[in-house]
A and B are shown apart, each in its own frame.
Chain A
Amino acid sequence: MLRSALSALVLCLLLLSCGKKRDIHPSFYHWKSEFALTKGETDYLKQLSVKRLYVRLFDVAWEGNAATPRASLRADSSAWQTWEVVPVVYITNEVMLRVDADEVPMLAQKISTRMQRLLGGRQVPEIQIDCDWSEQSRASYFRLLEEIRKAWPGPTLSATIRLHQVKYAGSTGVPPVDRGMLMFYNMGDLRDPETQNSIFDPETAKPYLGGIKTYPLPLDVALPAFSWVVIVRQGRPIDLISPAPVQELRDTSRFQAFTDQRFRVDSGTFLNGVYLYGGDELRIEQVDYSLLQEAASLVAPLIRNPDIHLVYYHLTPQTAEQYPYESLEAITRMFD
């Protein structure tokens, strides 16, 4: 009797655990230079039940002969009281290649102090470091992460992980952090004139999927929710306009469309503050709902951790128009 009861209990527990859904937390990156959400953006986030925002605070670039903070966020920290904030710092790989090993602890201290200062002393659940590190910069970058953890031991420490870093984890290593943020976009070659969509292309993504399932860190996922226009002059991409001003490009008095995505400039004209010359080619790259679905269907089954922060890159006033909240809700459900 007891044996049957125990068996039933075990079976029940097993069934419960098999049927348990994952905790999916939809979120957004805020990657602008000023934090001032419009009412539309705020409403949109509430509709999507977004509680957490990943907010880029500043970049660290190599300038002169030192790692220097750049492009700091302009914001009154009271503006983000409504949200759980994960501060993000982007560090160029050049910094990690050039910084002296001896200076890494000091750099970590500077970064964490500056983050805390910009946050106005606010507690945060997680801090994230974004760096496209390479095999050559691996040692100093990983040391930096360890030192940041020492300098600011409370919050979860996460790092962005690009697809090539998953595929070649053997050579680029696995960063010493608590979680990784898998960046499932920017996988194509923007400079190649044949590229259709450098933001996301399922065929480009597929060869990189292999290592995701076995990657030795809990992974959150960043999906692309943005668009841009690539400006090609004399065959060479020279600039981007983001988000893509799709409506303006329908102006046939200025732009000749030769496909849905590609246009030629008739004669000199301004487009969103960029002066274009006659003969320039413009390529729209965007991830629409169906492509976003495809991205989610590829990556969702590969994530094994029980909770995922699904972060869309990135929040702009146009995001709500391009991705009605129902569509992003549907994408989020694909991770259940």
Chain B
Amino acid sequence: MKALKPLLVCLISIFLITKPLQISRACSFEPEDYIAYYSLFDPSLSNMEDFNALHVSFDRYYSYDWFNNVEAKQKDNLKEWQQYAGAQASAADIALVVYTLSREDMNQAQNWLQKKGKGKLPESLSASNTFLQALNKSRNTDAADYLLYAKRCEPQVTVDPESWDPPAWDLTEMARLVTEGKNKYAQTQDPFLKMRYAFQVVRLAHYSGQLETCVKLFDELVLPLKNTGLLYWWSLGHKAGALQDLNRHLEAAYLFSQVFENCPSKRIQAWQSLSVESDEEWDSVLTYCKTPAEKATLYFMRGINIDSRALDEMKAIYALDPASDKIAFLMSREINKLESDFFGWDFDFAFPLKQSYKERSTAESLAYLNELYAFADLCVKENKIRKGPFFRMAQGYLAFMRSDFDKADALFAAVATQSSDARDKTYAGFYRWVIRLSRLTKLTPADELRLYQEMKKLPFAEDEPHQLRLKSSQYLFKTYARLYKVAGAKGKAYLCTQTYYDLLMYPDKAVVYDILKWLDGLQTRKPNELELELISRIDASQARNLMLEMKATLLMREGRWKEAIAIYEKLPQEALAMVTTYNIPLDPFQGFPSDCVNCWEVGTGDSPYNRLTFARKMVELDAEALRKPSAEVFMKLGNACYNMTYFGPAWMATAYYRSGGSIWVFDAESNDEWAVKEKNSLFVDMTRAEAYYRKAIALTTKNPELGAEATFMAAKCRQNQFYLDGYSDWEEEDLKRKPLYRKDFDALIAKYKKTRYYERAIGECGFLDTYSYGK
């Protein structure tokens, strides 16, 4: 076993040849390993279904099993077995015997076949299995013999070196299986089984590190069969892998290109195995090619790299074989990549297009767009290509991306009238609708409804792979949002892309008021389809009441208690439930030394206050403060104003959602759109609470306990203000400012150290405990 260790390691390296070599990601560049973008150009227009996994498309990129592709391999293999066994054998029955049946059960099945269908079958296999019946009918025991052999080979060739489990190779067994396979190859007269034995021994030789033998076995056993079925290409892949490890990587590259072209189930592995180091090597690989089409395949493999700019490859293929479908495929990839560049994540773009990724160059991408357009134009004009409508469509789409809407529309109109293909007509019509939408610079009521109705009638199914139904809706609403915003209709603009639930998380006063204004306008007439869809994004039946409730809650933030109460009291019961169902957990008029925002667990239970009763109590206290000002009443007002902010346990009086992480948006560096949106939505106003506490302090000269409490609470307000002013604990410059915000803590320590409240605060507030140490 010790002697085998180097070989085991060697095996791992060999295995990797047909699996692409994995490079450690640590301390190296990590390319963006996702491609996420909005796309309206459907790559399937290039009509190369077998190559779908190579489209620049988020879903397809991820739905493909890059390393194993087991399903595709099994599907192709089962197809060959079905052709061999005859149509009466179902794919499911073949799969059961070929892939599921254990070696022991296969042995039993073979005995059964040898006894002409007599004897006992294993429990996992029924005599009604159509594949078994077909073999029995033709008295074919050789096939069962082969399958038994294959099941013995399988454990030796399917070990994954990247598994947590220890590998279980057995080189002696592998060598024995090679010899046995060669003998069986010689013995059988069945060409189908001969090819399968040849494949098994070529694979075993490859994985056991017998590289020269692998190449030789391919030439001696596979080539003479003159069969270019599935197993030929699988075997060729092993020969290519062996050649690559023998440093004959140029021959290997050529063979991989052959596998790539002819064997969909090994296409990705072949592409990833292609390795060319230099221009000289590239030229050498091309000399192996026997036809222009073979050369075109090599250019195609080079052009489908994720970050390629495949215009070079398209031109090379065009020069070699202008009728090659691969040009259309590469063109669709390049268009999709440009969409990714310009449309980006959020589909929020405007014409003329600008780069959606700030680190990329708009000028360079536009120059490339123009080059692609010119090439598409050339293809259309010279008319040597095979897929005329596709190239006109591509040219039209590129014209659209260049903001040349007239030219684009003319090209799509030509496709719609000239092509006899219904699918071409559908897409041409769709792209003309996209252009109409893109042309809009402002929205008239007639346009906005008409384009919306046209969108609803687009003939794309819900499950269409490129999801054009969904994307056309998103594009329409993104466009409308931009135009509504320009027109000052903030509410409708908001509802184009967001819903009531977004508004609950990030309340925006301007949006709420504008939505209400719009809804008020609809009180006198029946809303149209578009308006109904926008309303449904709040709530189909009580949108206005929900908005009124939210308006009242936002009024609470401004201390406009009476206006809030007036709105609440007019709400119908269902909407009022939003206000009255959930009580504030702690008494909001009490002060708490330690901020406790989700205090249900503290055990005090529900207080008698909800938003409405809280507002009523505030009105009472305001009146009392005017009538008979006292430290006690100012403390209650201060506590209420503190507790109803983001920092206090009564935050739900003025908000619908709270996240502990939100406070970091006040960090001076957090200036992106989402941070600003979140910052604006938080209710964090410390000034009102602080002002009440200061009034209380002024009236507590004879009550040190209350004085301590008021000073402590004022200190908390200032401490919070430090972060709200954009300072952080990380920057040295910021920390220098901190003492300015802690003067009240200093005053508390200096003046009230002997009070009971101070003792309580020290016990509950860890910060004060630490801060006061030694003072």
Bound complex: CA of A113 vs CA of B29, how far in Å?
29
Bound complex: CA of A130 vs CA of B275, how far in Å?
30
Q: What distance in Å separates the Cβ of A107 from its nearest Cβ neighbour in chain B?
A: 9
Bound complex: CA of A192 vs CA of B305, how far in Å?
23
Contact residues in B for A151 (Cβ distance below 8 Å): none
Bound complex: CA of A278 vs CA of B313, how far in Å?
12
Question: Which residues 239-259 of A have a CB within 8 angstroms of B?
Answer: 239-240, 242
B27 touches A186 (CB 8 A): yes
A273 touches B308 (CB 8 A): no
In-complex Cβ contact of A239 among B5, B29, B277, B361 (8 A):
B29
A277 touches B312 (CB 8 A): yes
Q: Which of A3-11, A16-24, A68-76, A292-300 makes up part of the contact surface?
A: A68-76
User: Does A288 have its Cβ within 8 Å of any Cβ on chain B?
Assistant: no
B276 touches A78 (CB 8 A): no
Q: Which of A213-221, A228-236, A326-334 makes up part of the contact surface?
A: A228-236
A167: nearest chain-B partner, CB-CB: B730
A234: nearest chain-B partner, CB-CB: B364
User: Does A61 have its Cβ within 8 Å of any Cβ on chain B?
Assistant: yes
Q: What distance in Å separates the Cβ of B57 from its nearest Cβ neighbour in chain A?
A: 19
Chain A proximity mask over B713-730: 1 for CB below 8 Å, otherwise 0? 000000000000000011
A59 touches B26 (CB 8 A): yes
Bound complex: CA of A75 vs CA of B9, how far in Å?
6
Contact residues in B for A275 (Cβ distance below 8 Å): 276, 302, 305, 308
B278 touches A270 (CB 8 A): yes
In-complex Cβ contact of A72 among B10, B162, B277 (8 A):
B162
A193: nearest chain-B partner, CB-CB: B359
A111: nearest chain-B partner, CB-CB: B164
User: Does A196 have its Cβ within 8 Å of any Cβ on chain B?
Assistant: no
In-complex Cβ contact of A236 among B10, B28, B278, B360 (8 A):
B360
Given known A-B contacts A74-B9, A114-B164, A191 and B359 have beta carbons under 8 A apart:
yes
User: Does A120 have its Cβ within 8 Å of any Cβ on chain B?
Assistant: yes
In-complex Cβ contact of A31 among B6, B24, B278 (8 A):
B24
Contact residues in B for A15 (Cβ distance below 8 Å): none
Bound complex: CA of A90 vs CA of B23, how far in Å?
12
Contact residues in A for B368 (Cβ distance below 8 Å): 234
- How many chain B residues touch A (Cβ–Cβ < 8 Å)? 46
Contact residues in A for B360 (Cβ distance below 8 Å): 234-236
User: Does B775 have its Cβ within 8 Å of any Cβ on chain A?
Assistant: no
Given known A-B contacts A234-B341, A240-B29, A270 and B364 have beta carbons under 8 A apart:
no
Contact residues in A for B26 (Cβ distance below 8 Å): 31, 56, 59, 90, 130
Q: What distance in Å separates the Cβ of A312 from its nearest Cβ neighbour in chain B?
A: 12
Q: What distance in Å separates the Cβ of B284 from its nearest Cβ neighbour in chain A?
A: 12
- If over half of B's interface residues share one DSSP class (helix, strand or loop), that class is named, otherwise mixed; here it is loop
Contact residues in A for B28 (Cβ distance below 8 Å): 240, 242
User: Does A318 have its Cβ within 8 Å of any Cβ on chain B?
Assistant: no
Given known A-B contacts A117-B166, A277-B308, A238 and B25 have beta carbons under 8 A apart:
no
User: Does A269 have its Cβ within 8 Å of any Cβ on chain B?
Assistant: yes
- If over half of A's interface residues share one DSSP class (helix, strand or loop), that class is named, otherwise mixed; here it is mixed
Bound complex: CA of A92 vs CA of B275, how far in Å?
27
User: Does B189 have its Cβ within 8 Å of any Cβ on chain A?
Assistant: no
Contact residues in A for B359 (Cβ distance below 8 Å): 191-193, 235-236
Question: Which residues 160-216 of B have a CB within 8 angstroms of A?
Answer: 161-164, 166
Bound complex: CA of A191 vs CA of B360, how far in Å?
10
In-complex Cβ contact of A70 among B22, B279, B312, B361 (8 A):
B22
Contact residues in B for A268 (Cβ distance below 8 Å): 312
Bound complex: CA of A313 vs CA of B24, how far in Å?
14
User: Does B108 have its Cβ within 8 Å of any Cβ on chain A?
Assistant: no
Contact residues in B for A74 (Cβ distance below 8 Å): 9-10, 12-13, 16
Contact residues in A for B6 (Cβ distance below 8 Å): 76, 78
Contact residues in B for A83 (Cβ distance below 8 Å): none
Contact residues in A for B365 (Cβ distance below 8 Å): 234
Given known A-B contacts A120-B5, A269-B279, A272-B277, A233 and B27 have beta carbons under 8 A apart:
no
B16: nearest chain-A partner, CB-CB: A74
A76: nearest chain-B partner, CB-CB: B6
A66: nearest chain-B partner, CB-CB: B164
User: Does B31 have its Cβ within 8 Å of any Cβ on chain A?
Assistant: yes
Bound complex: CA of A64 vs CA of B159, how far in Å?
18
Contact residues in B for A240 (Cβ distance below 8 Å): 28-29
Contact residues in B for A114 (Cβ distance below 8 Å): 164
A226: nearest chain-B partner, CB-CB: B27
Given known A-B contacts A72-B161, A236-B359, A279-B364, A59 and B25 have beta carbons under 8 A apart:
yes
Bound complex: CA of A103 vs CA of B279, how far in Å?
49
User: Does B357 have its Cβ within 8 Å of any Cβ on chain A?
Assistant: yes
User: Does B307 have its Cβ within 8 Å of any Cβ on chain A?
Assistant: yes
A59 touches B279 (CB 8 A): no
User: Does B309 have its Cβ within 8 Å of any Cβ on chain A?
Assistant: yes
Chain A proximity mask over B304-320: 1 for CB below 8 Å, otherwise 0? 01011100100000000
B5 touches A235 (CB 8 A): no
User: Does B757 have its Cβ within 8 Å of any Cβ on chain A?
Assistant: no
Bound complex: CA of A277 vs CA of B361, how far in Å?
16
User: Does B282 have its Cβ within 8 Å of any Cβ on chain A?
Assistant: yes
Chain A proximity mask over B269-285: 1 for CB below 8 Å, otherwise 0? 00000011111011000
B5 touches A31 (CB 8 A): no
B23 touches A71 (CB 8 A): yes
User: Does A336 have its Cβ within 8 Å of any Cβ on chain B?
Assistant: no
In-complex Cβ contact of B5 among A78, A113, A130, A236 (8 A):
A78
User: Does A52 have its Cβ within 8 Å of any Cβ on chain B?
Assistant: no
Q: What distance in Å separates the Cβ of B763 from its nearest Cβ neighbour in chain A?
A: 24
Contact residues in A for B730 (Cβ distance below 8 Å): 168
User: Does A34 have its Cβ within 8 Å of any Cβ on chain B?
Assistant: yes
Bound complex: CA of A120 vs CA of B26, how far in Å?
24
Given known A-B contacts A34-B13, A76-B5, A114-B164, A237 and B309 have beta carbons under 8 A apart:
no
B164 touches A277 (CB 8 A): no
User: Does B676 have its Cβ within 8 Å of any Cβ on chain A?
Assistant: no
B279 touches A235 (CB 8 A): no
In-complex Cβ contact of A33 among B21, B163, B305, B312 (8 A):
B21
Contact residues in B for A168 (Cβ distance below 8 Å): 730
Bound complex: CA of A239 vs CA of B161, how far in Å?
27
User: Does A110 have its Cβ within 8 Å of any Cβ on chain B?
Assistant: yes
Question: Which residues 725-764 of B have a CB within 8 angstroms of A?
Answer: 729-730
Contact residues in A for B355 (Cβ distance below 8 Å): 235
User: 5 A–B contact pairs at CB < 8 A?
Assistant: A56-B24, A71-B25, A113-B164, A235-B359, A236-B359
A binding-site residues for B, Cβ under 8 Å: 31, 33-34, 56, 59, 61, 68-72, 74-78, 90, 92, 110, 113-114, 117, 120, 130, 168, 170, 186, 190-193, 228, 230, 233-240, 242, 268-270, 272-273, 275, 277-279, 313-314
B binding-site residues for A, Cβ under 8 Å: 5-6, 9-10, 12-13, 16, 21-29, 31, 161-164, 166, 275-279, 281-282, 302, 305, 307-309, 312, 341, 355, 357, 359-361, 364-365, 368, 729-730
Knowing that A114-B164, A186-B27, A277-B312 are A-B contacts, what are 6 other residue pairs whose CB atoms are under 8 Å apart, sorted by A's residue number?
Answer: A59-B26, A76-B6, A191-B359, A234-B368, A235-B364, A240-B29
10 smallest CB-CB distances across A and B, nearest first, come from: A235-B361, A90-B26, A71-B22, A76-B6, A238-B307, A240-B29, A235-B360, A234-B364, A71-B24, A74-B13
